[in-house]
Amino acid sequence: MAKWGMVIDLEKCTGCQACSTACQMENNRLPGENYQDVLYYTEGKQPTPTLKWFPRPCMHCEEPSCLHVCPTKATFKTADGVVLIDWNKCIGCKFCMIACPYGVRFYTDEKPLIEPNIKDVFKGSGDLSWNPPYKGPQQDNAHGVGIQPNGVVSKCTFCYHKISKAPAGTANLTNEDEATREFTPACVRTCAPTARYFGDLDNPNSEVSRMISSKKGTRLLEHTGNKPQVYYVTGSGAGGGAAVPMGRNGINKV
Amino acid sequence: MNILNTLITRRRFLQAAGATSAGAVALGSGKIGGFATLSEAQAAAPEASGGATVTKSICGQCPARCGIDIYNTNGRVHAIYGNNDHPIANGKGCPKMHLGTYMLYDPDRFKGPMKRTNPNKGRNEDPKFVPISWDEAYKTVADRLNNLRDKGESHKFGLFFGRGWGATDVGLTIVPFGELYGSPNAPIGHSSICSDGSVLAKQCTDGNASYSSYDYRHSNYLLIFGANFLEAFRPYNNNLQVWGYIRGVKTPKTRVTYVDVHMNQTAAAADRALLVKPGTDGALALAIAHVILTEGLWEKSFVGDFKDGANLFKTGQTLDPASFNEKWVKGLIEWWNAELKDRTPKWAAGVTTIAEDLITQTAREFGSTRPAIALFERGAHVHSNGVLNGMAIHSLNALVGSLFAEGGLGYQMGPSYGPSPANAADYMDDYAKNGPHKKMPRIDLKGHEDGYLMAKNMIQEVGKNHLSGKAGYKLDTALFYMTNPVFSTPNAKNEWEEAVKTMFVIDTSPFPSEVAMMADIILPDNTYIERYQDAPTYPFQGFPLAQLRVPAIKPLYDTRTFGDSLIAIGSLIKGPTSEYFKKLESAENIVRHLAKGFEKDPGDNGVKDFETWKAKGCWFKKPYVYRQVRGEFLKWDGKGYNNPMSAEDVKKDLLMTDSGKFEFVSSYMEHKKDWVLAKTGRDPVKYNMPHWEEPKYTGGGDVHFISPKTAMHAEGRGGNIPHAITLLQPAAGGNKGALAEIHPSLASAKGIKDGGRIKIKSAVGEIIATARVTELTRPDTIVLPFEHGHWAWGRWAKALGGSHVDEIVPQQSDRISGMCNYYTGKVTVERA
């Protein structure tokens, strides 16, 4: 069984947000509620201001604090290492949203970021919170995949409807390999500068394992003990605008 | 303003009328598509078992024409990814690409042909559109055009187009329509509000009236002026791919210096950001050229050298032209003597505000790294001195020998298309050849001595000229295809918006717009997900490439492909025009004819006919057949760049100037010398060389006003796509609209707080905006992305409000290129 994980190369990330929109459409996200956000930071003064950005999916932690606080065991860790929410069990208490140190969980029924509320335009029926006409064929409430029902929390699933169909023993899920393309998470598949890599962290020969080793992958907020399965790598550390969001005083900003 | 709600009547009409002559198109369960029926009409959720049909097509949200895979499961389009067979997309996507699914199902789409019933036009006048049949719509337009032609007034018909591509939309339809019908104003393109500044800069220096193709992947240095590589410059998706490669994979890593007026993503990701005073890019380029020459860094194999081999370029000192042997350039010493010798980094620092040492460092890096590319677009050339700025920047490519070099830049080759179903020249009647329209100037005075003799188009001046009658007449009827000048031209409110009130307006967009709000007839196009279209590539890497748009789903509503509508109208025009368009038959038929060319010249990917083109989504043949290697021009012989080109070949195919060389002293401009001198007042010694001229700032204020394009500008529709709105301006935080970036020093002086409302005024108007107080922008510059402020664009755009930047951009154009000076305005700002 694979332990799925992601590596994001900050030297290559252009901050374009294609990961965000690919995910929005693939996972029917509401405007402004992105499973995959890119965060931007500004520091310094003219004529030498700095602008940095940081792509942030769910970290799919090995020790997910969201899981430990869930009173109904709706949040669970799959055998292949993915943190998911069983919407059939979620009661919408939002403990997990408070427990998550990365801010990557979303509750339905929040006030829409912009008006008119798209949920009123594409109205849902039954327990579906909305019903966009471009919704995908997958709906799997037990794994938190598809249209978010009312009253539950949702989060990035690593595109579980895709990766869970990958043949056993697959080391890398990548757009470049036709055999794995359709099993590759949307954000990884579309990433134009190829800043994202996805594969089996337990396989020492997977591309993600190689990158973590050779490029010294780091994880966000290591001190929390969550042990993310999303790693960040960079080259010189001074190249692009994409960066782990550290302030000049060394304080981590997330 | 009720442009959207009136469409409800469409459904009522269809229910009453049943199937119209056009055949109402069923959606999903077989219900008729209508305004309120979308959610009802949804088919049952497709099975999770997959089985999606993937259609290879072309994105429609920017000029890049990325190949896309459109996923359709059980009649529902639910995903779009890049086409892995396509050389631009390579399976990848930009942030816009994925939103195409939303555009297909945009609830604000027009649902069928309509006519206006309220004769009054204005922002607050409900057009009171009522549904009509396609037959009535076409007949109304054709009768009107036939009537004009009968009266000898066919020149009063204008056809305005924006992102029209290929033979189906332009080459065999729009262009012949104007020729056969007989109007100098059919068509008028949008290039002067797009990027004609670079086209003219290239034409004046190397003889190619075109954008360039680039070989970024083999370049070791990019010096980018205002072409926002990671947010807006085309082909955006491929630029992002290039970036990942040249910065994260390639050895050696390509260095990048980026010049712009504010800190954006490209500036942040580059090795060096130079935040330049607006309109002064040319001064920076001239100083870089100065350093390249005085420090002996020019590429001698391309440029040539001093006869005795010693570098005689000394700041401030003139030279004898005879002392230098020029190779592929012309006029270097003349340029030096008249202009460059005094253009020191110190001088440029005073003009641009960039520190002198940074200019020198940049020049040394650029001049000593091969191959290197200097590129520019809107920003550098969107000023009164724009063509001069562009010529100065492009001249850097000549100095370092990048033209047609590996890792340099070239020009785009066209595809091996088959012959058209009909040749327009065979259908010209006497009227078309000799009618009164032949003596009429274009309404925009393009190509006219009183207007813009050297421009390609002047769409931004049409409104003004129509109102004043400056061209000697006014337009009677105007048809618009993928352009919205009522919103997107300078001083739009006072010019184009007023002008369309006195024209019979036909709009063809699938979506509501400011033009549609003023329209008399709506002939709604299919969205790009639902139609055929061919598209040769925008300048990319030089090798020929043609992609094919294929419907991924039957039209959701009673809409029709633009090409088919124009063919239908043409078929109703009296005389042989009608025969021509009947021969074309349809956009699909055109595409099938084009594909016949591939039978004789199959693509690298095996595409050899219509079916294989459709299956792959594109036809292409690598490589780019021309290459300049250390001053020798070579042509590909099938195995390598082995065939040397003669000077005559180079002049015919590559450096298409009078001299057959790159001209620092432009012969193209010299041909219009009297006109140029009279209209610009430029120095007769250097009017046709790249030289420094202060930009003429307009607007009467004290702060520069810049309105850039952002990554989420989904060919305009970004203004009404809720997902795009929330991601519009990420660096500055614009996730509920666009924010006006204003420097803390200016904000503090005016008592403006972050998030506060501000009033921005120029001589032509004022707008309200929300301030983002930030160090990202220069203290003398306000940056507010163009996108919002639409008043007839759809429900989200309307609810958002926003600031319509073109209401405060004064009307001024580069006299040479005709390029609209969007970024030349100065404004005043105060708390609202």
Give A3-59 as a DSSP string: -EEEEEETTT-----HHHHHHHHHTTPPTT--SSEEEEEEES-TTS-EEEEEEE---
Contact state of B78 with A9 under an 8 Å Cβ cutoff: no
Q: Which residues pair with B635 in a beta bridge?
A: B626, B643
**Is the pLDDT reported for residue B37 higher than 50?**
no
**Is the pLDDT reported for residue B50 higher than 80?**
no
B192 secondary structure, DSSP code? G
Percentage of chain B with pLDDT > 90?
A: 93
Which regions of B605-679 does DSSP assign to beta strands (E)?
Answer: 618-620, 626-629, 632-636, 641-644, 662-663
pLDDT tens for B457-509 read 999 999 999 999 999 999 999 999 999 999 999 999 999 999 999 999 999 99
Rounded to whole angstroms, the Cα distance separating B668 from B652 reads 15
- Beta strands B409-410; B618-620: pairing state: unpaired
Closest by alpha carbon to B262, among B243, B246, B277?
A: B277
**Is the pLDDT reported for residue B27 higher than 90?**
no
Contacts of B137 (CB under 8 A, 6+ apart): B113, B115, B521, B523
CB pairs A-B closer than 8 Å: 225
Contact state of B727 with A121 under an 8 Å Cβ cutoff: no
Give the pLDDT score at A236.
Answer: 54
Q: Which residues pair with B706 in a beta bridge?
A: B783
CATH architecture assigned to A4-233: 2-Layer Sandwich (3.30)
Rounded to whole angstroms, the Cα distance separating B753 from B772 reads 8
B440 secondary structure, DSSP code? P
Does the N-terminal peptide bond of residue B555 adopt cis geometry, omega within 30 degrees of 0? no
Give the pLDDT score at B238.
Answer: 98
pLDDT tens for A72-98 read 999 999 999 999 999 999 999 999 999
3-state secondary structure of A83: strand
Q: How confident is the model at residue A245 (pLDDT cuts 50, 70, 90)?
A: low
Contact state of A12 with B267 under an 8 Å Cβ cutoff: no
Q: Burial letters for B374-407: b for 16+ Cβ neighbours within 10 Å, e otherwise?
A: bbbbbbbbbbbbbbbbbbbbbbbbbbbbbbbbbb
Rounded to whole angstroms, the Cα distance separating B93 from B72 reads 18
Give the pLDDT score at B716.
Answer: 82
- ipTM of this predicted complex? 0.95
Dihedral of the CA atoms B746, B382, B727, B720 (nearest 10)? 120
Q: How confident is the model at residue B630 (pLDDT cuts 50, 70, 90)?
A: very high
In chain B, what residues touch A10 (CB-CB under 8 Å)? none
pLDDT tens for B166-223 read 999 999 999 999 999 999 999 999 999 999 999 999 999 999 999 999 999 999 999 9
- What are the extents of the domains in chain A? 4-233
Q: How confident is the model at residue B42 (pLDDT cuts 50, 70, 90)?
A: very low
**Is the pLDDT reported for residue B34 higher than 50?**
no
Q: What is the 3-state secondary structure (H, E, C) of B61-115?
A: CCCCCCEEEEEEECCEEEEEEECCCCCCCCCCECCCHHHHHHHHCCCCCCCCCEE
Name the residue facing A192 among B92, B253, B723 (closest C-beta): B92
Average confidence score pLDDT of chain B:
93
Q: What tokens appear for A150 in the block? A: 């009312």
In chain B, what residues touch A21 (CB-CB under 8 Å)? 93, 95-99, 723-724, 727
Give the pLDDT score at A194.
Answer: 97
**Residue in the block written with tokens 């992947």:** B217
Q: How confident is the model at residue A246 (pLDDT cuts 50, 70, 90)?
A: low
Find the helix or strand (DSSP H, E) in which B562 lies.
Answer: helix B562-570
Rounded to whole angstroms, the Cα distance separating A144 from A86 reads 5
Q: How confident is the model at residue A234 (pLDDT cuts 50, 70, 90)?
A: confident
Give the pLDDT score at B306.
Answer: 98
**Is the pLDDT reported for residue B552 higher than 50?**
yes
Give the pLDDT score at A244.
Answer: 67
Contacts of B206 (CB under 8 A, 6+ apart): B394, B398, B403, B654, B655, B656, B657, B662, B663
Give the residue on B whose Cα is nearest the Cα of A113: B736
Does the N-terminal peptide bond of residue B371 adopt cis geometry, omega within 30 degrees of 0? yes
Distance from CA of B766 to the nearest CA of A (A): 25
Q: Do the Cβ atoms of B362 and B223 come closer than 8 Å? A: yes
Closest by alpha carbon to A119, among A107, A130, A108, A127?
A: A130
How open is the CA angle B722-B102-B124, to the nearest 5 degrees?
55
Average confidence score pLDDT of chain A:
92
Give the pLDDT score at B486.
Answer: 97
Per-position DSSP letters for B193-253, written without gaps between them: GTTHHHHHHHHHHHS--SPPEE-GGG-SEEEEES--TTTTSSSHHHHHHHHHHHHHT-SSP
Q: State how far Cα B19 lies from the chain centre.
A: 39
Does the N-terminal peptide bond of residue B235 adopt cis geometry, omega within 30 degrees of 0? yes
Choose the mutation target among B76, B243, B272 for the interface with A, i.e. most A CBs under 10 Å: B243
Distance from CA of A94 to the nearest CA of B (A): 24
Give the pLDDT score at B5.
Answer: 37
Choose the mutation target among A7, A20, A21 for the interface with B, i.e. most B CBs under 10 Å: A21
pLDDT tens for B696-743 read 999 999 999 999 999 999 888 999 999 999 999 999 999 999 999 999
pLDDT tens for A4-31 read 999 999 999 999 999 999 999 999 999 9
Alpha-carbon dihedral sign for residues B312, B318, B321, B326: positive
Contacts of B178 (CB under 8 A, 6+ apart): B159, B184, B185, B186, B187
